[in-house]
Structure 1
């Protein structure tokens, strides 16, 4: 028997996630509450473990990656943050313009209904286990910046070697624990959501708006990868297909931070240098929320139309600009973006508590689509930054060679 014929069939991460989602929806319609709560309990424990590990992943990946970039790391962090903020603002402004053109027609003749938060209808675990993270996501990000840039400035290699070894430990945690268990986690999420039923009520009520927002996310992703493909000289559609596992993982977890391991792996498959991917992907998981901004902007306009709230273009543009900044404070957890934006909805748009509640209910019902757009776009940003760094390195090397010849 030939070597090729004895090769085992590899059931990849993407098909496992798709199967987990489909099985979660199917079994959620028939399984009794007691069985569903077993998976809810597993999800609670795994979620607590994720919350503990995510800050460590950020420090373990970003700090040594910044150190690998050398003394120019600070500049590239600023460039990455600028690109991420620009992408977020672009998505928000596209959502504002398109919503003003389309949503008045989609919502013509409709009125707001009283809906509860879908999370209130979810089943509870049998027990709760609190695993408190050593520090928060933003603290981890700042610590990684300080340590990474500090390593490049201080002579010696003790800290560098220590963080290189810490990166290897984090790599083992990702490959041996998080990624293998993700499909079960996603299965449990969809199982509980389906059993709760409230999600489908929200989706039915706002079906036209949801379809419109989904189309907008596709448009934004095509725009992002068209730019990235032009910069990198690659086929944008093939790049998008490569990022599909990250998209589907985020679709199941509704968490940019929880999807970091898969996003990182797919970004490297795009051809991004591992050192660049290791700092752009965790960074963008925290600060790049183009999909979330798009969704919040569109649904806020939908709620304003339903309640007859006047829409002032200048106020909405200011809202989008502030939202892009506020999103940086949103933790990479399900529903984090809308909870962060709740204050802006009240202060800038004048939403009442019931209107904010309606926004939260609608947002959480389809939270995963915005998150999936966020993490998929992270691959495009990583590609652009990697190509910019590569071009700068070649240019600097050429200048150094010219100087040596002249000397």
Structure 2
């Protein structure tokens, strides 16, 4: 929660600087924004490469049938959650504003210098390479390459935790300073508030759907199941990390009657691959940011369907730190939807403002996934 407070402080300070500070101060912030944004773009392919390769290589050591059931169920859950979020967002968000306001980089103020840090590979190249090496490492049982991708994952995890996340408040503050200088910040904030509320309500609706389905399959009361998962939900709000909440999630899942061997296997795996709450937020915020951009507009189902399918895969690469899911998703937004640097900054700000609720939805949804797998495995 400290990060959220820092982000809010960064937004407020950025707006004040953009409104009242001399232009050269705003230009300093814009310069920081441009350089830091370029660094984020450079890191994204490495997030996808090392996290997916490490995750896929690790799965090869586990029970194939249980892995297949869990991964398949989690992927379907994530995709359906994304579709729900899209239809809710395109219905509600256009009612917020009658006119689009641009969030693209303005021409009034320019950075003092611009340094382009070109990524070493594209997002799709990183994704394909990750799966090729991940599957290859698993099949060949190459411990040397497994160590390489695991250590690469650890290094990128440190970059995110020690560099990107601590500097995000400054980056977001710079985005809002630029918006304030351009005169579009208040329209943006108006949309922000509604979008955050909409994302959280959609989380709750999705959790209810998940547990009605899981309760029907397991022949248990869905409301009792949800009540037993509340400790995990509220713990995740505080930790903002699915991984850090695993001990509480594990206890809650076992309280719902899931067999110990299924829970011990399924909960840690689901915490890595099942991020339906994060996808709900990403899709909702994507629709909002595209609506605010005059060069994009409201996305169609044809545009968003491939994005949602890809997000389900990319979430495997989401680092287990606050904001990890949006870091992993940025490559998809830039390569498939053409998000600009300013649009990416708004996505990060929107996502981080509710990251705790998205994480809580992820871990609570893991309980439903494990109930389904427990019932299905018992019938075999």
Q: Structure 2 length normalisation: TM-score?
A: 0.61
1:100-115 alignment, distance < 5 Å: 100-109=90-99, 111=101
Question: 1:113 offset after TM fit, Å?
Answer: 6.7
Specify the alignment match of 2:212 in structure 1: 226
1:193-204 alignment, distance < 5 Å: none
1:240-279 alignment, distance < 5 Å: 240-279=226-265
Distance 2:97 2:224 in 1: 36
Distance 1:197 1:243 in 2: 36
- Of the two structures, which has the highest relative contact order with CA contacts closer than 8 Å and spacing of 6 or more? 2
Q: Deviations over 1:256-298 (max 9, x none)?
A: 1111111111101111111100111110111101011111011
2:104–2:343 contact (8 Å) kept in structure 1:
no
2:210–2:365 contact (8 Å) kept in structure 1:
yes
* Number of equivalent positions: 263
Specify the alignment match of 2:341 in structure 1: 353
Q: Deviations over 1:225-265 (max 9, x none)?
A: 00100011111111111111111111111111111111111
| One of 63, 68, 83 as aligned partner of 1:78 | 68
Do residues 318 (structure 1) and 289 (structure 2) align? Answer: no
Question: 1:362 offset after TM fit, Å?
Answer: 1.2
1:281–1:379 contact (8 Å) kept in structure 2:
yes
| One of 280, 286, 291 as aligned partner of 1:300 | 286
Do residues 327 (structure 1) and 315 (structure 2) align? Answer: yes
1:2-401 alignment, distance < 5 Å: 73-109=63-99, 111=101, 206-308=192-294, 309-310=296-297, 311-392=299-380
1:203–1:210 contact (8 Å) kept in structure 2:
no
1:252–1:368 contact (8 Å) kept in structure 2:
yes
Which ranges of structure 1 fall in alignment gaps of 5 or more residues?
Answer: 1-20, 30-54, 67-72, 116-137, 150-192, 393-407
Which ranges of structure 2 fall in alignment gaps of 5 or more residues?
Answer: 10-50, 106-129, 142-168, 177-185
Specify the alignment match of 1:156 in structure 2: none
Specify the alignment match of 1:52 in structure 2: none
3-state DSSP class of the match of 2:201? helix
Q: Deviations over 1:292-326 (max 9, x none)?
A: 11110110110001113142321211111111111
2:315–2:325 contact (8 Å) kept in structure 1:
yes
Distance 1:370 1:254 in 2: 8
Question: 1:109 offset after TM fit, Å?
Answer: 4.5
CA RMSD of aligned residues (A): 3.7
Q: Deviations over 1:131-187 (max 9, x none)?
A: xxxxxxx9xxx89x97xx9xxxxxxxxxxxxxxxxxxxxxxxxxxxxxxxxxxxxxx
1:232–1:384 contact (8 Å) kept in structure 2:
yes
Distance 1:364 1:234 in 2: 35
The 10-residue stretch of structure 1 (382-391 or 85-94) with the greater mean CA deviation from structure 2: 382-391
The 1:237/1:112 distance shift into structure 2, 3 A limit, reads: farther
Q: Deviations over 1:94-143 (max 9, x none)?
A: 1111111111012435746799xxxxxxxxxxxxxxxxxxxxxx9xxx89
3-state DSSP class of the match of 1:243? helix
Distance 1:233 1:282 in 2: 24
The 1:371/1:108 distance shift into structure 2, 3 A limit, reads: farther
Distance 1:107 1:266 in 2: 42
Distance 1:107 1:255 in 2: 34
Q: Structure 1 length normalisation: TM-score?
A: 0.58
Q: Which has the larger radius of gyration?
A: 1
Distance 1:114 1:351 in 2: 9
2:103–2:342 contact (8 Å) kept in structure 1:
no
The 1:318/1:197 distance shift into structure 2, 3 A limit, reads: closer
2:82–2:283 contact (8 Å) kept in structure 1:
yes
